[in-house]
Structure 1
Amino acid sequence: MGLHTSESPDRITQEEEEANIGVENQPRATTSIPQVIKTRNWWICLFVCSGLVVTGRVLATLLLNFYFIQTGRDVCDDPKQFKGTWLQSFIQNAAFPFTALLLLLWRSLFSTHRETQSSSSFVKLFLLYISLGVLFAAYSQLYAIGRTHCVFFFWIFTTQLIFTSIFTAIINKHKFNRWIILSIVLSGIATGITSSDDAYYPCEGEGGKMSYGAWCGLFGTVAFSLSLCIMQLGFQKVIPNTESRVSAVMLMQTNASMIATLICLVGLFISGEFKDIKEDFETFTKGRPLYVLSLIGLSLAWQVMSLGLVGLVCLASSLFSNVVSFSASPLANIFVVLAFSFMDDDVDWFKGGALLAGILGFASYIYSFYKATKKREIASQSETESVCD
């Protein structure tokens, strides 16, 4: 499945009734067998990337909570609670060698050609990766600050869907229909009502720090939403159509994460937070080996999730990738409650309802894709019959 596709159910013109879904990355539906196979492969890749996002989101949430508990950052009056934000942002991007290895394996096993870049396209790609790397580093750091400083961070976090919708409408000319709007509402509700069951819950009395964390969280949502929309614009305007979509996805993720890692590494040393790593390493409750393994696992989990997000942007749209991430939030937090039993909490009907809302939000967007695909098939068949007549 090389994803050499040209159209996707997330970019259709307004004429197609209310199925204003873009279809630039999904193959055009025709009755020919090769096109049917391409459409089937598109659906398979869509669900595979969605699975990567869900898996990465669940594992990252579990491991991040484990890290906070074992380092004592779940204690409200512990001064360490507000430390380590640069380390968190560094870990979130540091597993880019894993994606680079996958890219090398893919190209050695499946690539049949090499794309020759002109100097102008090389400059565009360079600027694309630099801008994405800066945004990756920015939202990683801003989210880390917001998460550890503001009790309302997860409510602020839900505005990410709003910003993504606005940016994708302006930058990517995304069209909305009732199924997409319903999907946004349901996935936003699913995230907003379940995301507070975590170890990193800051003290309510820190007014100045809470305000600072709130602003950082808000700007973090803007940076993340903007990065998704710039990715989509890059796939539409900058990445060559002849380039394997799989290679393009892994190359974009690798380069952007590498740049973000370098920025976060500089921030880690300039801020002096690197001195706290030794303390965490020596005082980690479960021992030093598990400290190292937890950070490695956390970094890989973030990378798997990010790879799935970039894949969904390439296959469908920035908005859909965000919806999938939000739809996975209730599942991730149910696993957190089961694993850690925060505040003697349990999985009640409220969390079950949030999980159902997340599933329905995802299903609503998928149904909009299905409607667009069937509409194109009918139009194509009618066109073929009229030509034959």
Structure 2
Amino acid sequence: MVKVLVFINCIILAIGNCGGPLIMRLYFNNGGKRIWFSTFLETAGFPVIFIPLLFSYIARRRSNNVGDDTSFFLIKPRLLIVAVFIGILSGFDNYLYAYGIAYLPVSTAALIIASQLAFIAIFSFFMVKHKFTPFTINAVVLLTVGAAVLGMHTETDKPVHETHKQYIIGFLMTVAAAVMYAFILPLVELAYQKARQPMSYTLVLEFQLILCFLASIVSVIGMFIAGDFKALPKEAREFKLGEALFYVVAVFSAIIWQGFFLGAIGLIFCTSSLVSGIMISVLLPITEVLAVIFYHEKFQAEKGLSLALSLWGFVSYFYGEIKSGKDKKRIQQEVESPETEQSSLSSEC
């Protein structure tokens, strides 16, 4: 069952991770200017989570198992409070990311986000006690250097209609978004560990629902302050693809981004925050290639070097994990072997 959940979460994470930035950039490329509105769309799809929660509730009601909780929500106050806190953090993190996408090519933003694996590894070490290996350290260094390379010769990558100042601010905002989300992922894992109630995938869905609801509230407040509600009708009419497609883009953006967030925290439940971060990072080169194909973004030498360093970092980390897994298996077999021999001798006696 765990393997099935891992596979499902990887699929929906892949759709959200690759499709989310592309459809967000589609909005900005065709006349969209409201950053808080884009932030809102990142989590506005949370009502779709009610569908699997309803099926879970019906299944519990039909079950005759003694002790089954038949209330619609299973989440308890301790985990609820953490979900509210992380939801508020996510709202501001989404704004940082939306701001970056507004002023950066998707391919550039994707390579910057690749650096978040380094920060996830660091935060995981301190928060949930993930161990560092030489391969992990190598991957962290390579990914960090890869992101830093993008800061060189930024003028050649700047969209024509934007100023150098806007580009630099977008660059820094994206870096800040990567660091903040790198903190959020281990925080979610820590919340699961300290929940004081048995964790299930239903609880993960409830956690995601509350998290996105609070993040959406933060976005709505931001939209109100920025005057987005008054500006959106006019923006929809002036949208280059047409008013109808403006709303189509908005709806699909909300649904696709929901896949990203649900896949990310679902993988944390099935594996760990570090694995979730690795999966996000592995998918980023695909996002970059799609951006070059669909939006004809430039692919300079700096991007090529950054991509090479990122891929080297991914390979280094995965090799280290495979090697570590083999070593653990070998040690376990060596420990179990004397016990098996001793048990065999005892039975013969």
Deviations 1:93-150 (A, max 9, x none): 1000112222222343477664599xxx833122211111111101001222233357
Q: CA deviation at 1:226?
A: 1.9
Q: Which structure has the highest helix share of the two?
A: 2
Q: SS of the counterpart of 1:90?
A: helix
Identity of aligned residues (%): 22
Alignment partner, residue 367 of structure 1:
322
Q: Is the 8 A contact 1:67 1:294 kept in 2?
A: yes
2:11 to 43, 51, 56: 51
2:184 equivalent in structure 1:
227
Q: Give the counterpart letter for 1:388 in structure 2.
A: S
CA distance in 2, matches of 1:297, 1:168: 32
| Counterpart pick for 1:122 among 53, 56, 76 | 76
Q: SS of 1:175's equivalent?
A: coil
Q: How does 1:219-258 map to 2 (within 5 A)?
A: 219-238=176-195, 240-241=197-198, 243-244=199-200, 246-258=201-213
**Gap change, CA 1:107 and 1:178, over 3 Å in 2:** farther
Shift of 1:303: 0.7
Could you tell me which amino acid in structure 2 is paired with residue 161 of structure 1? L
| 1:316 match | 271
Aligned to 1:277: 232
Cα 1:157–1:56 change in 2 (3 A) is closer
- Report how far residue 255 of structure 1 moved: 0.9
CA gap 1:59/1:219 in 2 versus in 1, 3 angstroms: closer
CA–CA distance in structure 2, aligned partners of residues 385 and 69 of structure 1: 66
In structure 1, how many angstroms separate the alpha carbons of the residues matched to 2:248 and 2:117? Answer: 32
Aligned residues of 1:327 and 1:362 also touching (Cα < 8 A): no
SS of residue matched to 2:130: coil
* 1:172 Cα deviation after fit: 0.9
Whether the aligned pair in 2 keeps the contact of 1:148 and 1:201 (CA below 8 Å) is no
- The Cα of 1:85 is off from its aligned counterpart by 1.1
Correspondences of 1:132-281 after superposition (within 5 Å): 132-149=86-103, 157-184=113-140, 201=159, 205-207=163-165, 209=166, 212-213=169-170, 215-238=172-195, 240-241=197-198, 243-244=199-200, 246-281=201-236
Match of 1:330 among 266, 285, 293: 285
Given that residues 83 and 211 in structure 2 are in contact (C-alpha distance below 8 angstroms), is that contact kept between their aligned partners in structure 1? yes
Q: Is 2:24 the partner of 1:64? A: yes
Name whichever of 299-308 and 149-158 sits farther off: 149-158
- Specify the code of the residue in structure 1 equivalent to 2:195: V
Name 2:252's counterpart in structure 1: 297
2:145–2:309 contact (8 Å) kept in structure 1: yes
Query: Aligned equivalents of 2:197 and 2:327: distance in 1?
Result: 25
Give the equivalent residue in structure 2 for 1:106. Answer: 56
Q: Please, what is the CA RMSD of the aligned residues?
A: 3.8
Higher alpha-carbon Rg:
2
Where does structure 1 lack aligned partners over 5 or more consecutive residues?
2-41, 74-82
Residue deviations 1:63-112 (CA, integer Å, cap 9, x gap)? 122222222x6xxxxxxxxx411011100010001122222223434776
State the shift of 1:178 in Å: 3.4
TM-score for the superposition, normalised by structure 1: 0.71
Quick one: structure 1 residues 259 and 115, their matched pair in 2 at CA, closer, same or farther if it must change by over 3 Å?
A: same
The one-letter code sitting in structure 1 at the alignment partner of 2:188 is M
Residues 87 and 179 of structure 1: CA distance in aligned 2, closer, same or farther (over 3 Å)? same
Distance 1:379 1:108 in 2: 47
User: Per the alignment, in what secondary structure is the counterpart of residue 76 of structure 2?
Assistant: helix
Measured at CA, do residues 194 and 105 of structure 1 come closer, stay the same or move farther in structure 2, by a change above 3 Å? farther
Q: Distance in 2 between matches of 1:158 and 1:178?
A: 19
Using the alignment, how far apart are the partners of 2:288 and 2:114 within structure 1? 15
Check conservation: 2:43, 2:216, Cα contact below 8 A: yes
1:97 aligns with 2:97: no
What is the number of equivalent residue pairs in this alignment? 329
| Contact in 1 for aligned 2:114/2:284 (Cα 8 Å) | no
Report the CA distance between 1:378 and its aligned residue.
2.6
For the residue of structure 1 that corresponds to 2:212, the secondary structure is: helix
Q: How far apart, CA to CA, are the structure 1 residues paired with 2:190 and 2:299?
A: 45
Alignment check: 8 A CA contact 1:190 1:354 kept:
yes
TM-score, normalisation: structure 2: 0.78
Contact persistence 1:188–1:326 (CA under 8 A): no
Q: 1 CA distance for matches of 2:342 and 2:251?
A: 59
Q: Given that residues 143 and 220 in structure 1 are in contact (C-alpha distance below 8 angstroms), is that contact kept between their aligned partners in structure 2? A: yes
Offset at 1:384? Answer: 6.1
C-alpha change, 1:367 and 1:360, in structure 2 (3 Å) is same
Q: Secondary structure at the match of 1:234?
A: helix
Letter in 1 for 2:280: S
1:13-32 aligned at under 5 Å gives the runs: none
Shift in CA distance, 50/185, structure 1 to aligned 2, threshold 3 Å: farther
1:265-309 CA-to-partner distances (Å, cap 9, x unmatched) read: 111112212222112211122222221111111111111011111
